Amino acid sequence: MLAPASVSDYRELARRRLPQLLFDYVDGGAFEEATLGANRIDLQRLTLKQKVLRDVSTLDTSTTLFSQALSLPLILAPVGFAGLLARRAEAQAAVSSEKANVPFTLSTVGICSIEEVRQATAAPFWFQLYMMRDRGVVREILARAAAANCGALVFTVDLPVLGTRYRDVRNGVGVRLPNLAKLEFAWNFAIRPKWLYDVVAKGRPLTFGTLSGAVEGARSLGDLLKWTSATLDSGVTWKDIEWLRNEWQGPLILKGLLDVDDARDAVKAGVDGIVVSNHGGRQLDATISTVSILPKIAGAVGDKTTVLMDGGIRSGQDLTRALALGAKACMIGRAWAYGVAARGEAGVTAVIETIRRELQTTMALIGRTCVADIDASVLHD
């Protein structure tokens, strides 16, 4: 490959650079990965109407989310443990997103802390929250996010328990291994010297940045996943959304909705936005693809709250398809993770700019000059 041209190319570069365990952690999904595949397949089945002899000399890809003007209807989604993919990856990605004028979302279980990302950037970034059993810890995190002027709080609601991810198990994550298998496990990292130097030698501390005071004794990805599983509150209900709404004064977004009735309940709870999401196919592997349910949810609540979508977005054409079906903007997770793993900040920038160019090209070929004009009429029946 002389030069990467697409997000898929950055995926391949990431595969070559990362230890298999980490690549599979990012790339994989739950169980047999049917939902992971459906997110991509169902997007690709949507065909766009090509239009000709339209004046497309000026194209406007900008939009506004929660009073924030953006250059693209795109958000970098929260990616847990991203700092294991590249040196201080969350900070690098936040800098890239700031330059591109799109929001970056920091995960609760990111390697970089809220304060580190704040120090690396000037523009508001978003923060993603998992609800923990200790509400005192949650309050303290929310106070830190507010002090850092985070532009929105993204509360993930589709993780009462961790999904079963076969790739992680096969790679020895959270599994007691015999001695011979431990050697193979270690070899998986030893054959990636560039990654070792960038992340292990130069990227420390490799802990939950925001939760560093709460996590004790975690020495590996498996340890961190076990801690996460033990700490998450599986008893969260709509009453907790009311509590969270009272605790957080900025825009509140619920991420992980796939049901129309749940979306209506979210509106009743007073949230400012929802993300139609199946956690990238990493939770329930027998559920619907996000783009398949998006039109019903957008039709039901799109005039009452901001509807976003994630799951399978790998190009500007995918972004166009989602906008056509009612999304105000889309989140990308794996796409930017591939970019940062492959080439750090420059890789994230390249991924964003690739999607921008693809969106512009697609808009010109379907005869739409601004993203606000992209609707279901651009799709074939």
Catalytic residue numbers, as ranges: 279
296-302 own/partner pairs: CB under 8 Å, 24+ apart: 296/260, 297/257, 297/258, 297/259, 297/260, 297/263, 297/326, 298/325, 298/326, 298/327, 299/326, 300/260, 300/263, 300/264, 301/260, 301/263, 301/264, 301/266, 301/267, 301/274, 302/326
In angstroms, the CA 100 to CA 311 distance is 21
3-state DSSP assignment of residue 365:
helix
DSSP 148: T
Count of CA atoms in the C-beta half-sphere (13 A) of 326: 21
Q: Are strands 329-332 and 74-76 parallel, antiparallel or unpaired?
A: parallel
**Preceding amide of 193 cis, omega within 30:** no
Let me know: does 320 contact 374? Beta carbons within 8 Å.
yes
In angstroms, the CA 254 to CA 279 distance is 12
Residues 6+ apart with CB under 8 A from 97: 76, 103, 104, 125, 348, 352
Question: Tell me, what amino acid is at 16?
Answer: R
In angstroms, the CA 59 to CA 295 distance is 25
Distance of CA 165 to the CA centre of its chain: 17
Q: 163: which 2 tokens?
A: 């999904």
DSSP string, 61-126: --EEETTEEESSSEEEPP-TTGGGTSTTHHHHHHHHHHHHT--BEE-TT-SS-HHHHHHH-SS--E
Q: Are strands 68-70 and 63-65 parallel, antiparallel or unpaired?
A: antiparallel
